[in-house]
């Protein structure tokens, strides 16, 4: 027989419902805990695997354009006579072998070394910005630009009359206006595509310029 005196605390312990100490559970769910719930991670803006795929596309297109440009130049030198026009589409388009020391329209013929430096700078810039690549359109544009620059840069560096002063091989005559090559076509196509992307506000990383402006406005509003 329990000889301890009955006190208010002892009475509460004797008649307490043992289920009072059980954790509270939601219907059909696990026991609730007091541990903090982790916030879901924010989605990454661009995956590294997508960036790698776009970079591979850029470099593949660059290599393709540069190789095709050099092959067609070698064929032009082997099959065409310098200065003689071979009609392809009447007077609109023809083949004519020309060695160009300057730019289009025979501009700045005595400044070959300047164009060599410009092409080197463009190639370096393209390779640097390609690390932020996140847009298919920009991958195509930069691939065409880099391929065209490397195609003509090879001529500037390694063709006669000397290193960094070489003359570019041109062979596509556009109705007598100017004579160009495959590298020139790639560079012009890249310029057009870059202009379209810029007008649409598409950034190199794939984002839109309008979205970046909205985020900047939101940050300024938060700071205020």
| Tens place of pLDDT per residue across the chain (224 aa) | 555 565 656 655 555 555 555 555 555 555 555 555 555 544 444 578 999 999 999 999 999 999 999 999 999 999 999 989 999 999 899 999 999 987 655 566 667 788 889 999 999 999 999 999 999 999 999 999 999 999 999 999 999 988 988 999 999 999 989 999 999 999 999 999 999 999 999 999 999 987 655 565 566 666 65
The residues assigned a catalytic role are 170, 184
184 to 4, 148, 178, 214, 221: CA distances (angstroms)? 105, 6, 11, 38, 47
Q: Name the residue among 142, 135, 175, 168 with its Cα closest to residue 154.
A: 168
Are 59 and 143 in contact by the 8 Å Cβ rule? The answer is: yes
Are 129 and 211 in contact by the 8 Å Cβ rule? The answer is: no
- Backbone φ and ψ for 184, nearest 5 degrees, come out as -65, -40
**Does pTM top 0.85 for this prediction?**
no
CA distance 5 to 200: 88
Q: What confidence score (pLDDT) does residue 66 get? A: 98
- Tokens matching residue 1: 């027989």
20 to 17, 23, 24, 29: CA distances (angstroms)? 6, 8, 9, 18
CA distance 67 to 223: 53
């Amino acid at each position: 027989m329990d000889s301890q005196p009955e006190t208010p605390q002892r009475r509460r312990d004797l008649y307490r419902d043992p289920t009072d100490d059980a954790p509270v559970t939601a219907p059909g769910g696990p026991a609730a805990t007091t541990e903090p719930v982790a916030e879901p991670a924010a989605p990454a803006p661009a995956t590294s695997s997508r960036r790698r795929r776009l970079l591979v596309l850029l470099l593949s297109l660059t290599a393709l354009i540069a190789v095709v440009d050099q092959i067609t130049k070698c064929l032009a030198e082997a099959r065409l006579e310098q200065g003689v026009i071979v009609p392809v589409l009447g007077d609109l388009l023809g083949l004519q072998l020309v060695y160009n020391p300057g730019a289009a329209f025979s501009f700045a013929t005595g400044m070959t070394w300047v164009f060599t430096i410009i092409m080197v700078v463009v190639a370096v810039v393209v390779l640097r910005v390609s690390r932020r690549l996140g847009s298919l359109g920009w991958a195509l544009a930069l691939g065409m630009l880099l391929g065209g620059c490397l195609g003509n840069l090879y001529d500037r560096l390694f063709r006669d009359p000397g290193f960094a002063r070489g003359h570019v091989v041109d062979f596509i005559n556009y109705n007598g206006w100017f004579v160009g090559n495959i590298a020139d076509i790639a560079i012009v196509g890249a310029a057009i595509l870059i202009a379209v992307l810029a007008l649409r506000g598409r950034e190199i990383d794939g984002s839109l310029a309008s979205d970046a402006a909205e985020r900047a406005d939101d940050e300024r509003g938060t700071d205020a």
